């Protein structure tokens, strides 16, 4: 009997192929999967060798799906969607539940909102009640089981797990991006600076060796969500986390004119009280959130 082509195929090869096929970038896929770029490339090569077909055409600075890759990708997407849906029906909690989350407003609008449909498809019986918060004083009054905070991840009495890569990149509207040829050109646009960012535009200018004082205009905002909205409307340029513009409407309206990033000591963290048991619904949401962010350790 002839051996099936998929009999010894590795599930992680398929997951890696799905991610690279979606992003068309080994670098971006490695970041999303929390893997090294070489590991991503190796898994793709193993899959191609196993199938006996090239799935990507590799050029100097870009990759493209081959005809075989274009035909294979939707099959893999459908397979994973069916697997997730079936598993949720078998293993997810049967009873309805309501969970309360205190969540940083920018994270809620720019990351959680574009992803929540996937949680709902897995756990339609779980209702998530979000309370928008921004500052540490807001969290002190919170009684929610789960919290998503912005900071350094060091909060006494809480278990914290990072959700977002701690590096910022320049983003602006597509029209404004056409005006930028080098770092100094940014100074002609309004710099949208977010309060509470330990390393903002001044640090970026120092990194690029341009004069922060020479900026034409600096606008201060207390939320990345507001800064992103202003940038979409051609107000200027902002510094954002890549994960905030990877999906949803922002992915279509903002672009990054430069590849350089700025490391920051702060990020977004999932937090819950140490030593306190979570409800079943909260556990499901916490596990989904960590897996969805691709930073689960």
* CATH number at 11-90: 1.10.10.10
Lowest mean pLDDT among 105-119, 122-136, 268-282: 122-136
Residues of the chain within CATH 1.10.10.10 domain(s) are 11-90
Give me the DSSP letters along 229-252. Answer: HHHHTTSEEEEE-GGGGSSSHHHH
Which residues have CB under 8 Å from 115's CB, separation 6+?
A: 247, 292
Contact between 205 and 193 under an 8 Å Cβ cutoff? The reply is no
pLDDT of residue 94: 54
For 193-243, the pLDDT digits (tens) are 998 777 789 999 999 999 999 999 999 998 899 999 999 999 999 999 999
What stretch of H or E contains 16? helix 11-23
Q: How far is CA 251 from the centre of its chain?
A: 11
Confidence of residue 82 (pLDDT cuts 50, 70, 90): confident
pLDDT at 97 over 90: no
pLDDT at 90 over 70: no
Contact between 17 and 47 under an 8 Å Cβ cutoff? The reply is yes
Determine the 3-state secondary structure of 146 from DSSP.
Answer: strand
206 CB neighbour count, 10 Å cutoff: 13
pLDDT of residue 93: 59
Rounded mean pLDDT of 154-176?
Answer: 93
pLDDT of residue 132: 83
Contact between 98 and 281 under an 8 Å Cβ cutoff? The reply is yes
Output 91 or 291, whichever has higher pLDDT.
291
Overall size of the chain counted in residues: 297
pLDDT of residue 240: 95
Residues of the chain within CATH 3.40.190.10 domain(s) are 92-165+267-292, 167-263
How many Å apart are CA 23 and CA 167, to the nearest integer?
Answer: 19
- Where b means 16+ CB within 10 Å and e means fewer, 160-193 reads bbebbbbbbbbbbbeebbeebeebeebbebbbbb
Compute the mean pLDDT over every residue in the chain, rounded to the nearest whole number. Answer: 88
Contact between 123 and 88 under an 8 Å Cβ cutoff? The reply is yes
CATH class of this structure's domain 167-263: alpha beta
Say which residue the tokens 């306190």 belong to.
Answer: 276
Backbone angles phi, psi at 63, to 5 degrees: -130, 155
pLDDT at 131 over 60: yes
pLDDT at 2 over 60: no
pLDDT at 296 over 60: no
Residue 92: name the closest of 128, 129, 130, 121 by CA: 121
Backbone angles phi, psi at 35, to 5 degrees: -130, 170
User: Which superfamily does 92-165+267-292 belong to?
Assistant: Periplasmic binding protein-like II (3.40.190.10)
Confidence of residue 9 (pLDDT cuts 50, 70, 90): confident
pLDDT at 88 over 70: no
Rounded mean pLDDT of 86-114?
Answer: 81
Which residues have CB under 8 Å from 165's CB, separation 6+?
A: 31, 241, 242, 243, 267, 295
How many Å apart are CA 256 and CA 171, to the nearest integer?
Answer: 4
Rounded mean pLDDT of 150-175?
Answer: 92
pLDDT of residue 92: 60
pLDDT at 91 over 80: no
Confidence of residue 297 (pLDDT cuts 50, 70, 90): very low
């Amino acid at each position: 009997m002839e051996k099936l082509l998929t009999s010894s195929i590795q599930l992680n090869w398929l997951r890696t192929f799905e991610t690279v096929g979606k992003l068309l970038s080994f670098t971006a896929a490695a970041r999303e999967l929390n893997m090294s770029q070489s590991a991503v490339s190796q898994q793709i090569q193993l899959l191609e060798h196993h199938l006996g077909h090239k799935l990507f055409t590799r050029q100097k600075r870009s990759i493209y799906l081959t005809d075989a890759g274009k035909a294979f990708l939707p099959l893999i997407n459908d397979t994973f969607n069916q697997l997730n849906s079936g598993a949720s029906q078998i293993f997810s909690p049967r009873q309805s539940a309501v969970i309360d989350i205190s969540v940083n407003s920018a994270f809620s609008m720019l990351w959680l909102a574009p992803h929540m449909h996937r949680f709902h498809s897995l756990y339609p019986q779980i209702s998530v009640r979000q309370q928008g918060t921004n500052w540490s004083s807001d969290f002190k009054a919170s009684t929610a089981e789960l919290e998503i905070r912005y900071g350094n991840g060091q909060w006494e009495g809480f278990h914290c797990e990072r959700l977002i890569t701690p590096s910022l990149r320049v983003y602006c509207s597509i029209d404004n991006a056409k005006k930028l040829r080098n770092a100094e050109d940014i100074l002609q646009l309004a710099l949208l600076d977010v309060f509470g960012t330990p390393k903002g535009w001044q640090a970026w200018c120092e990194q690029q060796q341009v004069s922060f004082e020479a900026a034409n205009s600096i606008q201060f905002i207390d939320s990345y969500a507001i800064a992103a909205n202003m940038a979409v409307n051609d107000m200027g340029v902002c510094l954002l986390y890549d994960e905030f513009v990877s999906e949803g409407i922002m992915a279509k309206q903002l672009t990054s004119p430069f590849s350089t990033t700025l490391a920051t000591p702060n990020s977004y963290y999932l937090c819950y009280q140490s030593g306190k048991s979570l409800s079943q619904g909260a556990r499901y949401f916490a596990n989904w959130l960590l897996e969805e962010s691709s930073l689960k350790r």
